[in-house]
Structure 1
Amino acid sequence: MLNDSVYRRARRAWACSPFRLPLLRAMSAQGIPLGKISGLSGVQVGYTQRPLPEMRADQELMWLIQVGLLRREVDGQGITDSYRLAPLGRQLLQDLEKGETHGGIPASWADHLQNLLTRWQLFL
């Protein structure tokens, strides 16, 4: 059973992230390398609206891992630079595709503030 507060926190983290729904869809099928998410390539495939430097993209993806939406992909050699959906991410994608919002989740200033405070608390 999914904890409602965990789901709300993860949903808010996604809404406040620089990423868009096509990234969730792609990650549901396969691991997506950081290089395809950051920079101009991320914009070209619709993963982001603006080019993200690789370091910022990695920081944002790591936050989505911490809230349970994503996981790092592992191969025979260990952890790779690719990301996939975790079960919570699959649930969020499923909910978004049911028609709640087609372009993503709108985030209010209060959502951004709460997301920032949550991130800050976890780093202390």
Structure 2
Amino acid sequence: MTTANYTNPKPFVYSQITVERAKRSLICSPFRLALFLTMQIKSVPVSAIAMENGIKQGYTQRPLSELVCDNHLNWLIQVGILRREVDGQGITDSFRLTPLGHQLLEKLQKQELCIPTLSDHLYDAFIRWVRLPF
């Protein structure tokens, strides 16, 4: 199967609030940069991220159950970083980056991935808990 490489000359423009929320969610997630770099190229199934597979691949810092992994990935979908992969049968258990995810990863690769502060973790947890759009 051949892969088409479409480059969009006009990237999507996102508000600063959207970008900041996505960045905070990305750095507060339990996933490492290697996962997102892989998602730039191909989709990654939950089974490759969960449990010991995630540590072996360098995707996570600690083993995550499939449920916990899926919850964190779904949050990254809600903030616009990821999307579920779709095949001819419907939605799969694999994930890819969205255009926002690609833009954010490009910015973060140029800098070092910053370590989230306690306030970043608290703010991200609060937003996840109440699911507010800011």
Alignment partner, residue 59 of structure 2:
47
Match of 1:121 among 124, 130, 133: 130
Letter of the 1:110 counterpart: S
For residues 24 and 92 of structure 1, the distance between their equivalents in structure 2, rounded to whole angstroms, comes to 10
For residues 87 and 53 of structure 1, the distance between their equivalents in structure 2, rounded to whole angstroms, comes to 28
Alignment partner, residue 60 of structure 1:
72
1:39 to partner: Cα distance: 0.6
1:105 to partner: Cα distance: 2.7
Q: Which runs of no fewer than 5 residues in structure 1 stay unpaired?
A: none
Cα RMSD (Å) of the superposition?
1.0
Alignment partner, residue 73 of structure 1:
85
Letter of the 1:112 counterpart: H
For residues 66 and 83 of structure 1, the distance between their equivalents in structure 2, rounded to whole angstroms, comes to 13
1:107 to partner: Cα distance: 0.4
Give the match's secondary structure for 2:39.
Answer: helix
For residues 105 and 37 of structure 1, the distance between their equivalents in structure 2, rounded to whole angstroms, comes to 22
Alignment partner, residue 30 of structure 1:
42
Letter of the 2:56 counterpart: Q
| Greater per-residue helix proportion | 1
TM-score relative to the length of structure 2: 0.87
Give the match's secondary structure for 2:115.
Answer: coil
Letter of the 2:54 counterpart: G
For residues 88 and 31 of structure 1, the distance between their equivalents in structure 2, rounded to whole angstroms, comes to 16
Q: Does 1:86 align with 2:103?
A: no
Q: Which runs of no fewer than 5 residues in structure 2 stay unpaired?
A: 1-12
